[in-house]
Chains A and B, each alone.
Chain A
Amino acid sequence: MLPESIREELRAIVGEKNCLDKQEALVAYSYDATPMQQALPDVVVMPKSTDEVQQVMRVAARHHISVVTRGAGSNLCGGTIPVGGGIVLVLSRMNQIVEIDEQNLTITVQPGVRTVDIHQAVEALGLFYPPDPGSMVISTIGGNIALNSGGLRGLKYGTTKDYVLGLEAVLPNGEVIRTGGKLMKDVAGYDLTKLLVGSEGTLAIITEAILKLIPKPQTQRVMLAMFADMAQAARSVSDIIANRIIPGTLEFLDQGTIRVVEDFKQIGLPTNVAAILLIGQDGEPQTVERDMEQIAAICQKNDAVQIKVATTVEEADEVMTARRSALAALSRMRPTTILEDATVPRAAIAPMVAAIQEITERYGLQICTFGHAGDGNLHPTCMTDARNTEEIERVEHAFEEIFAAAIDLGGTITGEHGVGIVKAPYLEWKVGASGIEIMKGIKHAFDPHNLLNPDKMFAKHSRNRVVVQRA
């Protein structure tokens, strides 16, 4: 509990309405979209400007108060849960698009702008901001940058990190740094822009960002290819890329997901197939046409049971429904849905899916897998019930084995959700002991008093399981 005098200081900075410390507000900012994780802050502060963020940080630094920065709270790694209490700094009131620069093809935004609003604003001008995390209708760009969010277009267009050109950020001591700029080339010193992208709110508070835009692709086409054999689907993915085609979308649903989606939506998917690929291409009409033909031929050669190419917008919508409904369909099965994101090199998708299936069966769980086949980013999704602690323990062991399997196949413990608290115990598997040490050194350089998002990314004790651990 913070003393009244400190809360008074904070109120003086942001105003009465933007400093919340009633029980109801503290409960409402005690969680994000991560299942089973919760911790109460002492106070919630909603600044409206960089200046206010600076002042809040000075108060926090003076009194050694932890600060967890947060936007919409849609992340899945527990990254915005205030495990050590302190201040939750909500940046959603800083939600202005500062400038769209059509000469330089950049957009300058405050961190609280929703990703979908960036899309709409630039697409109206014939421009394009490709990163499209699944939660983009709610997620804010600040969170996307802090977690280096991915999405459906990662294969062809890359992820958030590939579009951040410059940042303004407040350091834990209240100083402001500016990195990068409206520049395509900049090698002046360490690349602090890239360092802050994906730093999960542990190094500095992003208060403004300059993002790169590209011209909007002219056309888009999609198709569904269904396979009786998982290996054939995986081979098609490799063959498409080996044929020098980089699709705009290359998504995957396993048999379990297909069954659940069909049950939920009745869109006529064959429930006996092992895998469905949703493949899309965008760009110049002629190129798109040629690519789609070649992709269809490759899938056919790999014994696709059925190929459905959308010729109209309505058909495209129908085809996309299968992928779009995956999470909704799965989340209706059981009360608790754990959406994970183990990632492997794309050539290893078939063995990874096989490993997930084997682990699922061995632990007697319901885990279905869908995800971004093109970039190897899979979402094994477990349908369970948080109230059943015995089952949750099995879930925990199963995911631990799934992450280990991903590492063994040359992959990683998280492709787009972030480390936060839930992956912290496994980070060392991926980056090694010296990797952890160097990361901790960076953290110390930025934040010597460990004020920003403490206890995230680095586990206090190695291998402590977190799925059932309550803060």
Chain B
Amino acid sequence: MLKEALVKKLDYDELSNCMRCGFCQPACPTFQETGYEAASPRGRIALMKAVADGVMEPDKDFVDQMNLCLGCRACEPVCPAGVQYGQLIEQTREAIEEVQEHSWWVKAVRKLAFFHLFPHQKRMYQLGGLLRFYQRSGVKKAVRKLGVLSILPKQMREMEAIIPEASGKGIVDFFGGTVIPAVGERKYRVGMFHGCIMDVLFNETNRNTVRLLSEAGCEVLIAPDQVCCGALHAHSGEREQARHLARKNVAAFHKADVDIIVSNAGGCGAMLQEYDHLLAEDAEWQERAQWFASRVKDISEVLARLVEPKEWQLLPQRITYQSSCHLRNGMKVTKEPVSLLQAIPGATYVQLREGDRCCGSAGIYNLVQPEMAGSLLDVKMGHVAATQADILVTSNPGCLLQMKAGIHRAGLEGKMEAVHIVDLLARVQKEEKPLSTPE
């Protein structure tokens, strides 16, 4: 059954493009960690092709190997043949999902998260409100005191400890409207993609994004009908639902008629930029999807072009940067975040060894593959500690949470903080004092 689904979903031309040179292997975290050929991009593609060619049956080991992939796509930039590995692994996961028999509770959780929660932004805010109540009312303290959390697996407990203070309202509520005018002369009309989790757990980052854009001369439009980008869906094999969300977003931003669509989360940005691929077989939407995809930029690209670092205030601290895989390998944005950090007056930028390697967060990977995620994180934190930085900068919410968890796990709390690049830039922007960072 899985075999038929794979044969149907997998792009055979793309599979054939892999020439098995192995250049992907040094870049692949799971290969580096295990040393198994099957745990490398070349190996996984070989397995996919073996199934498509009828050489092997897709058994449990096959599925396990596909699930062990972080989806960080570090293999793509180093591939001489330009194989679109990210698309192949998504197609494989879509096929696996189609035939997978989940236990009733996994089914329930998946259905709740993928269909009833993420796609409905209002529900996300409601959940954010609940979480905020939990965090503020003393329930959290009581729960911790009672040791109730000990029933959760370790990785969930670690997450609970570092989750930021949630917000029950989004940035539209906060700004009281969907159009925020540019300060001074208007240079661009920018559509702000606020994300689903971003707007609840990182609402301050979203507010800072709007502020920075507006002060840089952008009129910011927060398209009111936008929804979750669908990245978590696509990476978990729910590509049809991802397409559904993509159409909604394309429509929302097309209507807003913007010059640029800006994202402040690498994971979302890469997904948005691939809407043209996602909707490639949808004749009705293809043209608008291309319009949309070609306008997607990361916040660091827009700011690097527009802001004047001379007006920033002094920050006499050591800064290092963990790049988001999807920002780097998906959106191909590598220079801008670093050049922005290097431009902060007084700050010392220290390059993080293997800062281009996945931190192990990878969507919900750290929850479903705790062992591999944990060992990747430990290696990462060793390198982070060696930088002796005061501030560890990231550009994606998942990575930010993982880095916070890593700081907690490595006992670096009090010595170092993890900050989203937008929040750091808002901190050094002279005009206005930033709002306090929730810890």
Q: Name the segment of B31-39, B156-164, B304-312 touching the other chain.
A: B31-39
Given the contacts A23-B59, A28-B43, A74 and B81 also touching, CB distance less than 8 Å: no
Do A31 and B46 touch across chains, with their CB atoms under 8 A apart?
yes
Does A335 lie within 8 Å of B16, measured CB to CB?
A: yes
Q: Is the Cβ of A73 less than 8 Å from the Cβ of B37?
A: yes
Closest chain A residue to B80 by CB distance? Answer: A328
**Count of chain A residues near B, Cβ 8 A:** 36
List residues of chain A with CB within 8 A of the CB of B20.
31-35, 73
| Interface contact A336-B19, CB-CB below 8 Å | yes
In this assembly, does B13 line the interface, its C-beta being within 8 Å of a C-beta of chain A?
A: yes
B19 to A24, Cβ gap below 8 A?
no
> B345 near A: Cβ within 8 Å?
no
Q: Which of B287-320 contact A (CB under 8 A)?
A: none
A249 to B21, CA, bound (A): 24
Q: Does A93 contact B (CB under 8 A)?
A: yes
Q: If A28-B47, A332-B82, A335-B16 touch, does A23 touch B57 (CB 8 Å cutoff)?
A: yes
**B25 located at the interface, meaning its Cβ lies under 8 Å from any Cβ of chain A in the complex:** yes
List of A residues within 8 angstroms of B21 by Cβ: 33, 74, 135, 138
B22 sits at the interface (CB 8 A): yes
When C-beta atoms are compared, the residue in chain A nearest to B25 turns out to be A138
Q: Is A72 an interface residue (CB 8 A)?
A: yes
A399-431 residues with Cβ-Cβ distance < 8 A to B are: none
B365 at the interface (CB under 8 A from A): no
Assembly CA distance A227 to B401 (angstroms)? 56
Select A387's contact among B16, B50, B82, beta carbons within 8 Å. Answer: B16
CA of A34 to CA of B19 in the docked complex: distance in angstroms? 8
With both chains docked as a complex, state the minimum distance between the C-beta of B41 and any C-beta of chain A, in angstroms: 11
User: Is B285 in the interface zone, CB < 8 Å from A?
Assistant: no
Q: How far is the CA of A114 from the CA of B31 in the complex (A)?
A: 14
- Proximity bits, A381-408, B CB within 8 Å = 1, else 0: 0000111000000000000000000000
A92 (CB) vs chain B CBs: closest residue? B35
B16 touches A27 (CB 8 A): no
Residues of A within 8 A of B26 (CB): 114, 137-138
Q: Write the A114-147 contact mask toward B (1 if CB under 8 angstroms, else 0).
A: 1000000000000000000001011000000000
Q: Does A370 sit within 8 A of B, measured CB to CB?
A: no
Q: Is A29 an interface residue (CB 8 A)?
A: yes
Q: Which residues of A contact B375 (CB under 8 A)?
A: none
Chain A residues contacting B57 (CB-CB under 8 Å) are 23
Give B57-115 interface residues, CB cut-off 8 Å to A. 57, 59, 61-62, 65, 80-82
Q: Which of A24, A46, A337 contacts B61 (CB 8 A)?
A: A24
B36 and A72: CB pair below 8 A? no
* Chain B residues in 8 Å Cβ range of A138: 21-23, 25-26
Nearest-CB residue, chain A, relative to B17: A335
Q: A22-B61, A23-B57 are in contact. List 19 more A-B contacts (CB 8 A).
A: A23-B59, A23-B62, A25-B37, A25-B61, A28-B38, A28-B46, A32-B20, A35-B19, A72-B25, A74-B21, A114-B26, A135-B21, A137-B26, A138-B21, A138-B25, A138-B26, A331-B19, A335-B16, A386-B16
Instruction: Name 5 interchain pairs, CB-CB below 8 A, sorted by A.
Output: A24-B61, A25-B38, A74-B21, A138-B26, A332-B82
